[in-house]
Chains A and B, each alone.
Chain A
């Protein structure tokens, strides 16, 4: 485990929503998932904040990183396929709405 700077606020099974924001810079949260809600599937550990790393800073304290599972039908209103189809993405804690 990387140096744990920030304590994980969410647990597996928690419903979380991704911040809907558009800051400039090196962002690892894809646009298509911003504003959507899903369920924490696992906690991957804590990693230096990539937005800070891209600015030549140390990215510490490390941010908890979650695997969040989203229903396809929630993400794409016109989605054609099984209601059980899902998308899983890695979401940093600072990209989850408080």
Chain B
């Protein structure tokens, strides 16, 4: 990350290492500055739309939902989303269980489907607290769950990546996939929120 214009901040150890490595790779002709800038722009431009599309398909097609829960990566590819190397596990919210995702060791996240993780997902308070007081953390996100509803916290601590399949909100009968997908936010796919019909749209 470049410091803002006019503000001088010395590189830290890892930034210096990144710059040194990048300049060496460019100097040796292994990559170009343009290719790096392009890859970064593509990464930043990606949002949770792919994950939301998968959820909307699952809400409207029970056979797809079964395949999504069976093998998340293959289900992503089925919709034309390339996810090389991704081992995706999709966990389903039901009236019997709510799911929430964290990576306590770093910031593992299905970036190919959800874009870059939010800053709070990478923060130590979220990572250390959601595994031991999930109900309280979710309430701080504005998600107050019934005391009896079991919560499953998934620590993305090794090779798999996770996405939550939220419950389809009541009152969305007959909606098409695009309209449904618009309800599925990034936070719903992490499990710190649930999809809601915007108030203005309520009939």
Interface residues of A (CB under 8 A from B): 28-30, 32-33, 44-45, 47, 50, 65, 67, 72, 75-76, 79-82, 84-92
Contacts and interface: CB of A to CB of B under 8 A. Distances in A.
Contacts of A86: 150-153
Given A30-B104, A76-B132, A87-B131, A82 B150 contact: yes
Nearest to B146: A82
Nearest to B159: A47
Given A30-B105, A67-B160, 14 more contacts: A28-B105, A30-B104, A32-B131, A32-B132, A47-B158, A67-B89, A72-B132, A72-B153, A81-B135, A82-B148, A85-B151, A85-B152, A87-B152, A90-B158
A37 B188 CA distance: 30
A67 B162 CA distance: 12
Contacts, number: 71
Please give me the 8 A-B residue pairs with the lowest Cβ-Cβ distance, nearest first.
Answer: A90-B158, A84-B150, A89-B155, A28-B158, A47-B159, A85-B151, A88-B154, A87-B153
Given A44-B87, A86-B152, A81 B134 contact: yes
Nearest to A47: B159
Contacts of A85: 134-135, 150-153
Nearest to A66: B158
B157 interface: yes
Which DSSP category, helix, strand, loop or mixed, fits chain B's interface?
loop
Contacts of A84: 150
A80 B133 contact: yes
B1 interface: no
15 contacts: A30-B105, A33-B155, A47-B158, A47-B159, A50-B158, A65-B159, A81-B133, A81-B151, A82-B150, A85-B135, A86-B152, A87-B155, A88-B152, A88-B154, A92-B158
A37 B89 CA distance: 22
A29 B105 CA distance: 9
Interface in B17-43: none
